[in-house]
Structure 1
Amino acid sequence: MSGSVEQGSSRTHGSTRILHFLVRLPVPMETVWPAVATVEGLGAWWAGVEVLEPRLGGAVELPGLGEGQVTAWDVDRVAEYTLERGDRVRFHLERDGEAGAVLRFTHEYEGEGETEPGWRARFERLLETLDA
């Protein structure tokens, strides 16, 4: 079974842009969690994360986005990072059948920022990483 980046959408509210993705993963949530909630996991498919304190209120520094803090943390389910410049990156995991997971991803930001194709490419790398 292979995963897929099924949906990507972008919308704008005032000056805020919101990107959404739905990614189906062929592995359990517990396997996906380290990929979105640890320095090593994020580094394997996104880029080198400088800092990530895995707890609500913990410090985070994400490549290309800057510094901030962990603003939602529900182990094996939700990791959300809000950055000083106003970006919010949220990973929400759900079960998908017996052995799979669905990642619901949101990135909110002001002005220019990450693009839908950029995130789609990252999620393709995530699928490759988890399939290895």
Structure 2
Amino acid sequence: MTGSVEQGTSQTHGNTRILHFLVRLSRPMEDVWPAVATPDGLAGWCTRVEVLEPRLGGAVTLGELGAGQVTAWDVDRVAEYTVEGGRLRFHLERDGEDGSALRFTHEFQGEGPAEPLWRDRFERLVDVLSRP
């Protein structure tokens, strides 16, 4: 198994939408971390990165997702970016012997085609991480 993107779920609280995805990957957390916490890694499947200071409170600019700051940073486990486009949280957990699970949350205001866009991005992530 190379990985899978499970069905996304969405909640609405007033004008705030919260989207959750679970992505199972057949790579250890140490291999997945650079894909969610480095400019080259994020650019390979998600969006271009102009700025990413890898520390709590660091500046971040994530292409069309917006600019802001790193609001959670636990190396090899949690990267959270709060930008104009909302809050993006990548939480990695071990999944079996050699795999990992990526729990993703996107909290944002208003409407938009968020789930299909993130599903496509996560399919690309699975593809990128399945390459040798």
**Normalised TM-score (structure 1):** 0.95
In the other structure, the counterpart of 1:101 is: 100
Q: Determine the C-alpha separation between the residues in 2 that align with 1:87 and 1:115.
A: 11
Letter in 1 for 2:31: T
Q: Determine the C-alpha separation between the residues in 2 that align with 1:82 and 1:123.
A: 19
Runs of at least 5 residues in structure 2 that lack an aligned partner in the other structure = none
Q: Determine the C-alpha separation between the residues in 1 that align with 2:17 and 2:46.
A: 20
Q: Does 1:70 align with 2:70?
A: yes
Corresponding residue SS for 1:121: helix
Alpha-carbon displacement from aligned partner over 1:52-98 (angstroms, at most 9, x marks no partner):
00000000001212110000000000000011x36100000000011
Q: Does 1:31 align with 2:31?
A: yes
Corresponding residue SS for 2:6: strand
1:6: Cα distance to partner?
1.2
Alignment of structure 1 residues 1-132 onto 2, 5 Å: 1-83=1-83, 85=84, 87-113=86-112, 115-132=114-131
1:111: Cα distance to partner?
1.1
Q: Percent identity?
A: 73
Letter in 2 for 1:131: S
Runs of 4+ in 1 over 3 A off after TM superposition: none
Whether contact under 8 Å (1:93, 1:104) holds in the other structure is: yes
Q: Determine the C-alpha separation between the residues in 2 that align with 1:119 and 1:35.
A: 15
- Once structures 1 and 2 are overlaid, which stretch shifts more, 44-53 or 67-76? 44-53
Alpha-carbon displacement from aligned partner over 1:24-65 (angstroms, at most 9, x marks no partner):
001000000000000000000012111100000000001212
Corresponding residue SS for 2:54: coil
1:7: Cα distance to partner?
2.6
Letter in 2 for 1:68: G
